[in-house]
Amino acid sequence: MVILKKIQGSTLMETLIATVLIMVIFIVSSLILNNVFMNTMNENLGNIKAHLNELEYQFINDKLTIPYYDDFQDWEIHAKYKGTTEKEKVIFSALNTITGKQVETITYR
């Protein structure tokens, strides 16, 4: 007769503990990734900076009248003269209505 060797396995408690640990690691990593993704989306200022550059270009080439007010996506854009100098100094500012962030650029003509 063949004698069967006993194979050691894990108990039910060890399996449950390993499963709980894997779940905790998965939940923590998904929360971290979600936080990183949301911060990246909130800090993305590429679209508004490109739009402000376009407005500056239009101002320099006399295609834009100052004062200027506009809405762009979630941003309120204002352009106005600032100061009295020999050069025309214009401040383009954009304020996000949701997050309250503000982006400003200064242009001389």
Whether residues 19 and 51 share a domain: the answer is no
Question: Based on the domain organization, do 71 and 29 belong to the same domain?
Answer: no
Are 56 and 34 contained in the same domain?
no
Count structural domains, the chain.
2
- Residues 54-78 have a mean pLDDT of 84
Two structure tokens written together for 76: 């309120």
Q: Report pLDDT for 105.
A: 83
pTM value is 0.59
| pLDDT for residue 84 is more than 80 | no
Say if 88 falls within a structural domain: yes
Confidence of residue 68 (pLDDT cuts 50, 70, 90): confident
Buried (b) or exposed (e) across 44-55, using 16+ Cβ within 10 A?
Answer: eeeebeebbeeb
Residue 86, pLDDT > 70, answer no
Mean pLDDT check: name the lowest of 19-28, 43-52, 58-67, 82-91. Answer: 82-91
pLDDT of residue 7: 67
Q: Which of 109, 54, 56 is nearest to 79 (CA)?
A: 56
User: What is the model's pLDDT at position 33?
Assistant: 93
Q: Based on the fold, state whether residues 58 and 69 are members of the same structural domain.
A: yes
* CB 65 within 8 Å of CB 107: no
Residue with more model confidence, 25 or 57:
25
For residue 5, being part of any structural domain is answered with no
For residue 107, the tally of other CB atoms under 10 A from its CB is 18
Residue-number span of the structural domain to which 31 is assigned: 12-43
34 with 79, same domain: the answer is no
